[in-house]
Amino acid sequence: MASFREARRFRAVGLVENYWHALRGGRPVPARAEIDPRGIEDALEYAFILERIAPRQGRLRIAGRHLSDLAGAEARGLPLSALFAGAAQETLGGAVEAVMDRPSIARLALEAQPGFGRPTLAGRLLMLPLLSDANEVSRVLGCLETEGRIGRAPRQFTIAEVALRDIAAAPRPARAPAPGLAEPGRGYDAPPRRAAPHLRLVKPDSDG
């Protein structure tokens, strides 16, 4: 029942995860070039593509409108960590690293603290590994969905919980890019961050 309520609260997160599982079929990790925005049309405003730019760091190559609303500016080109406060950036970095290096599926429970013109905001962040054109797991299909009124932007999140599910990695060649989801040019470089994440390990993915 709890998982059912979670799915109803954060519907876009479930749509993106279901699409990723359907896309990969029996394979461990699908390719970035296979992503077709029509497959997640009802979740596009919450979806994003993340590119590794340094250890534990990823830049938003594509970002839905909801992420820009949270950032108070165009989110494309920003590091994902720009949406997180203080120590939460270190925890996020550990999750990003796990998604790409192990690889893993990451689910994060988020909270944005209240303030003047900023109501309490709960959210969920999903990160799913993708193969790049170089046949490396250096891209992420993600979804960041919140519940409640954003209020005055920008909003920054703390992380209440991180759940990781490991999957087996077996790279495969990428296909030709799907039309309509071209990535923009390089626009932001962030330095690497170092810290041990606080993560909770979930049983290995039986589909992998």
Least trusted range by pLDDT, from 35-39, 43-47, 98-102, 150-154: 150-154
- Side chain identity at 62, as an amino acid letter? I
Q: Exposed e or buried b for every residue in 50-63, given b needs 16+ CB within 10 A? A: bbbbeebbbbbbbb
CB distance 171 to 136 below 8 Å: yes
pLDDT at 51 over 80: yes
How far CA 115 is from CA of 33, 156, 173, in Å, comes to 41, 11, 48
Domain CATH code at residue 13? 3.30.450.20
Asked whether 75 and 157 are in contact (CB, 8 A), the reply is no
pLDDT (average), residues 140-156: 94
Alpha-carbon span 68 to 46, nearest angstrom: 10
| Percent residues over pLDDT 70 in the chain | 77
Q: Is 135 left (phi over 0), alpha (psi -120 to 50) or beta?
A: left
Residue 187 in any domain: the answer is: no
78 belongs to a structural domain: yes
**What pLDDT does residue 168 have?**
67
For the cut 70, the answer to whether the pLDDT of residue 207 exceeds it is no
Backbone φ and ψ for 109, nearest 5 degrees, come out as -95, 125
Q: Give the pLDDT of residue 26.
A: 87
- Give the pLDDT confidence score for residue 115 in this predicted structure: 84
Residue 132 lies in a domain: yes
Mean pLDDT: which of 70-79, 145-154, 173-182, 192-201 is highest?
70-79
Task: Tell me the average pLDDT across 6-13.
Answer: 84
Q: In the prediction, which pLDDT does 68 show?
A: 97
Please give the structure tokens belonging to residue 2.
């709890």
53-69 tens-digit pLDDT: 998 999 999 999 999 99
* pTM of the predicted structure, to 2 decimals: 0.78
**Higher per-residue confidence, 188 vs 150:** 150
29 in a structural domain: yes
Residue 7 forms part of a structural domain: yes
Number of domains observed in the structure of the chain: 1
Residue 192 lies in a domain: no
Give 71-121 pLDDT, tens digit per residue: 999 999 999 999 999 989 999 999 999 999 999 999 999 999 888 888 889
Q: Which domain holds residue 97?
A: 2-173+197-202
Q: Is the pLDDT of residue 27 over 50?
A: yes
Residues in the chain: 208
pLDDT given for residue 8 in this prediction: 72
- The answer to whether position 185 is within a domain reads no
In the predicted model, is pLDDT for residue 174 greater than 90?
no
Question: Where would I find the beta strands (DSSP E) of 67-179?
Answer: 104-112, 121-131, 137-147, 158-166
**From CA 46, how far away is CA 67, in angstroms rounded?**
7
| Within a domain: 118 | yes
Q: At residue 185, does pLDDT exceed 80? A: no
